[in-house]
């Protein structure tokens, strides 16, 4: 429950601190006194957006802090989830600096706004006049049914499953589209790869073939030059080797006389051996070289194939062609793996679809199970609220396929008069009837949800007299299970409160500010009397006020 609220520098509130109590609390005050300002400040610690417009003094920051007794509401899991200190009395704080930047805290630990909002929704539910518009909203109507049947958490889990199913389905559609495009490329990639693979390229093949073809094309010239070289070197009279032999013999004969001559003799011997070996190589090459037409054509054809492939793929070497082949192989593998991935993902989508269908059906059965009870309880409450002939029905249809909320489509139908035709709320319910219908619904789901605190902002709009008294009784009855705070302008409801707070404006030389105080017994009598007769309190209004308070 909300145990205290502290507000600093918000709108017309300079500094304010107020303690709240269990049971039923009523807040009253003249129109324009600042009751809505109080709710606005409270909304800040519940995670609502704010800006510098809320600052009373633009040069100072705004601070709103609420203290909540939470020991009996099973919220430890929430605090553990966000690694927050759990205290039986926890504090939610919001600060807004002069530049409009906002900071949020839970038990003095900084948190983001979504975390603050999530906790706030577990602590307080505020019903304002404008919220009656949501009565016609399909999401709200389903939420009422889910709340009554106690399946809100199950529905939230289903929504997560459904979003996951949508993501998987979108991914599958994307992959299938990619596969379609890939299939048009697959045959072409496969042709290019097969062409390169069948060619069986070797890394140094091009250079080897180009050199061999060069030799073949100049074979006659090479053979002639080799023949001339062999004759000059050793196969002719007065050849180089013959002359070297004479030199060798002359030096050898005198080598015994000098170490240097012996060294020269050895070097000449080595030269002779080397030149003899060169002659042997020349003779072998001369013998082996001949122009082979078939081989030349074979090499030319092979090189033409290589050049054609290089030109086709805009590369210059066989290494580049082999890289192209690797890339093509990778693309083909990716296409093949995509097909396999699609099969796996398709199975996941089917599983997810089966799961959401099963869970949607389970949720639907639980929803349908409570529809009659909801209709009955709301009609009973409406009768207590002065609409005895009201008829309330919930139209229910099953959708062909599960959606984000399941397979159920509901529509609240209403008629305030006996024998009248049931129609959508927006077409038949007046402002007062809408407020009472919302109160009936809030009463219904609040008892099921057992939130720590429920705040009603002028839920009594459009009612008076005996009906107002019944509204007060319903609020009082709710307060036996939770803290109920009602902002009201009706004395009948003000008289029901266990605690009564007055919001008022105070004007001084420094300006106007909003204040709030808890009224003592005598102050309550006077305030309720003013609500009955205006500022001029009469003895009759005082007696009526006392009577209203005694009735509580």
pLDDT tens digits for range 373-408: 999 999 999 998 888 999 999 999 999 999 999 999
Q: Does residue 349 lie in a domain region?
A: no
Q: Distance between CA atoms of 253 and 268, rounded to whole angstroms?
A: 13
Q: Does residue 7 lie in a domain region?
A: yes
At 450, list the tokens: 């057992």
Q: Does residue 279 lie in a domain region?
A: yes
Q: Are residues 209 and 198 in the same domain?
A: yes
CB 488 within 8 A of CB 25: no
* Model pLDDT, residue 54: 80
What phi, psi does 500 have (nearest 5°)? -130, 125
Give which of 429, 407, 406 is closest to 416, Cα–Cα: 429
At 96, list the tokens: 């807004």
Virtual CA dihedral for 37, 40, 41, 42, nearest 10 degrees? Answer: 120
- pLDDT surpasses 70 at 429: no
Q: Does residue 149 lie in a domain region?
A: no
Q: Chain centroid to CA 167: how far?
A: 11
Q: Are residues 232 and 317 in the same domain?
A: yes
At 236, list the tokens: 């002719």
Pairwise pLDDT comparison (110 vs 210), residue with the higher score: 110
At 117, list the tokens: 């909002």
Q: Are residues 122 and 208 in the same domain?
A: no
Number of domains, the chain: 3
Beta strands 483-487 and 24-28: pairing type?
Answer: parallel
Q: Does residue 421 lie in a domain region?
A: no
Q: Does residue 137 lie in a domain region?
A: no
Contacts of 129 (CB under 8 A, 6+ apart): 435, 457, 458, 461
At 63, list the tokens: 């601070």
How far CA 48 is from CA of 2, 42, 195, 372, in Å, comes to 17, 9, 66, 36
How far CA 101 is from CA of 39, 313, 423, in Å, comes to 21, 59, 47
Q: Distance between CA atoms of 186 and 365, rounded to whole angstroms?
A: 49
- pLDDT surpasses 90 at 121: no
Lowest average pLDDT, out of 101-115, 169-183, 309-323, 422-436, goes to 422-436
- pLDDT surpasses 90 at 68: yes
pLDDT tens digits for range 336-359: 778 888 999 999 999 999 999 999
Q: Distance between CA atoms of 172 and 180, rounded to whole angstroms?
A: 12
Instruction: Tell me the mean pLDDT in the region 318-342.
Output: 88
Q: Are residues 494 and 547 in the same domain?
A: no
* Model pLDDT, residue 490: 92
At 382, list the tokens: 């409406």
Q: Indicate the burial class of 243 (C-beta count within 10 angstroms; 0-12, 13-18, 19 or more).
A: exposed
- pLDDT surpasses 90 at 83: yes
- pLDDT surpasses 90 at 155: yes
Q: Distance between CA atoms of 357 and 350, rounded to whole angstroms?
A: 10
- pLDDT surpasses 70 at 133: no
- Tell me the residue range of the domain where 276 lies: 181-336
Lowest average pLDDT, out of 4-13, 428-437, 480-489, 538-547, goes to 428-437
* Model pLDDT, residue 131: 62
Beta strands 406-415 and 391-403: pairing type?
Answer: antiparallel
Pairwise pLDDT comparison (541 vs 295), residue with the higher score: 541
pLDDT tens digits for range 166-187: 999 999 999 888 888 777 788 8
Q: Indicate the burial class of 234 (C-beta count within 10 angstroms; 0-12, 13-18, 19 or more).
A: buried
Q: Are residues 546 and 492 in the same domain?
A: no
Pairwise pLDDT comparison (462 vs 45), residue with the higher score: 45
* Residue at a domain's end among 313, 336, 359: 336
At 178, list the tokens: 């990619």
Instruction: Tell me the mean pLDDT in the region 441-465.
Output: 78
Contacts of 219 (CB under 8 A, 6+ apart): 289, 290, 291
Lowest average pLDDT, out of 177-191, 261-275, 353-367, 483-497, goes to 177-191
* Model pLDDT, residue 401: 94
Pairwise pLDDT comparison (386 vs 273), residue with the higher score: 273
How does the average pLDDT of the chain come out, rounded? 89
Q: Are residues 497 and 546 in the same domain?
A: no
pLDDT tens digits for range 30-43: 887 788 889 989 99
Q: Are residues 458 and 492 in the same domain?
A: yes
Bridge-partner residues for 19, per DSSP? 4
Q: Distance between CA atoms of 47 and 41, rounded to whole angstroms?
A: 11
Instruction: Tell me the mean pLDDT in the region 264-275.
Output: 92
Q: Are residues 540 and 473 in the same domain?
A: no
At 374, list the tokens: 């909801």
* Residue at a domain's end among 336, 363, 386: 336
Bridge-partner residues for 17, per DSSP? 6
What is the chain's length? 552
Q: Distance between CA atoms of 355 and 379, rounded to whole angstroms?
A: 36
Helix (H) and strand (E) counts for the chain?
A: 17, 15
Q: Are residues 199 and 320 in the same domain?
A: yes
Q: Are residues 513 and 525 in the same domain?
A: no
Strand order in the sheet with 124-127: 124-127, 453-457, 483-487, 24-28, 499-508, 511-518
Q: What is the CATH number of the domain that holds 64?
A: 3.40.50.300
Q: Does residue 486 lie in a domain region?
A: yes
3-state secondary structure of 408: strand
Q: Are residues 106 and 211 in the same domain?
A: no
Instruction: Tell me the mean pLDDT in the region 261-278.
Output: 92
* Model pLDDT, residue 385: 85
Using 50, 70 and 90 to split pLDDT, how confident is the model at 468?
A: confident
Q: Are residues 483 and 440 in the same domain?
A: yes
Q: Does residue 140 lie in a domain region?
A: no
- pLDDT surpasses 80 at 494: yes
- Cβ density class 265-288: b for 16+ within 10 Å, e for less: beebeeebeebeebbeebbeebee
* Residue at a domain's end among 336, 370, 395: 336
* Model pLDDT, residue 132: 60
């Amino acid at each position: 429950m909300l145990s205290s609220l502290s507000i600093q520098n918000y709108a017309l509130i300079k500094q304010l601190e107020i303690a709240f109590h269990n049971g039923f609390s009523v807040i009253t005050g003249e129109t324009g006194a600042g009751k809505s300002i109080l709710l606005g400040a409270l909304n800040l610690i519940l995670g609502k957006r704010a800006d510098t417009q809320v600052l009373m003094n633009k040069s100072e920051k705004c601070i709103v802090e609420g203290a909540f007794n939470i020991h009996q509401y099973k919220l430890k899991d929430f605090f553990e989830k966000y690694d927050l200190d759990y205290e039986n009395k926890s504090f939610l704080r919001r600060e807004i600096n002069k530049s409009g930047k906002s900071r949020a805290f839970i038990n003095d630990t900084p948190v983001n706004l979504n975390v603050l909002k999530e906790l706030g929704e577990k602590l307080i539910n505020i019903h304002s006049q404008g919220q009656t518009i949501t009565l016609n909203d399909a999401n709200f109507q389903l939420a009422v049914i889910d709340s009554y049947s106690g399946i809100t958490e199950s529905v939230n889990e289903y929504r997560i499953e459904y979003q996951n199913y949508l993501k998987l389905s979108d991914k599958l559609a994307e992959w299938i589209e990619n596969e379609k495009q890939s299939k048009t490329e697959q045959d072409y990639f496969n042709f290019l790869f097969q062409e390169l693979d069948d060619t069986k390229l070797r890394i140094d093949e091009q250079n080897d073939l180009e050199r061999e073809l060069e030799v073949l094309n100049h074979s006659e010239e090479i053979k002639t030059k080799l023949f001339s070289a062999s004759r000059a070197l050793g196969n002719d009279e007065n050849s180089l080797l013959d002359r070297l032999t004479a030199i060798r013999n002359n030096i050898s004969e005198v080598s015994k006389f000098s170490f240097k001559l012996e060294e020269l003799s050895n070097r000449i011997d080595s030269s002779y051996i080397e030149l003899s070996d060169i002659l042997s190589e020349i003779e072998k090459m001369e013998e082996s070289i001949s122009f082979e037409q078939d081989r030349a054509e074979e090499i030319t054809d092979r090189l033409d194939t290589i050049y054609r492939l290089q030109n086709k793929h805009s590369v210059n070497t066989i290494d580049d062609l082999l890289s192209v082949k690797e890339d093509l192989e990778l693309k083909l593998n990716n296409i093949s793996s995509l097909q396999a991935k699609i099969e796996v993902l398709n199975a996941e989508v089917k599983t997810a679809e089966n799961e959401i269908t099963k869970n949607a059906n389970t949720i639907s059965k639980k929803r349908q199970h409570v529809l009659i009870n909801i209709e009955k309880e709301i009609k009973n409450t409406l009768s207590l609220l002065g609409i005895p002939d009201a008829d309330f029905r919930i139209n229910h249809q099953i959708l062909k396929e599960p959606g984000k909320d399941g397979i159920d489509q509901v529509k609240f139908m209403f008629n305030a008069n006996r024998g009248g035709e049931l129609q959508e709320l927006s077409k038949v319910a007046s402002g007062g009837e809408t407020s009472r219908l919302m109160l009936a619904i809030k009463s219904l789901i609040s008892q099921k949800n057992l939130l720590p605190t429920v705040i009603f902002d002028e839920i009594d709009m459009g009612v008076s007299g005996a009906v107002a008294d019944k509204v007060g009784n319903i609020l009082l009855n709710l307060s036996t299970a939770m803290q109920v705070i009602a902002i009201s302008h009706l004395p009948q409801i003000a008289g029901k409160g266990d605690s009564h707070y007055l919001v008022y404006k105070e004007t001084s030389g420094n300006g106007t500010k909003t204040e709030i105080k808890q009224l003592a017994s005598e102050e309550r009598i006077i305030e309720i009397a003013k609500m009955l007769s205006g500022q001029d309190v009469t003895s009759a209004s005082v007696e009526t006020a006392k009577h209203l308070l005694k009735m509580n």
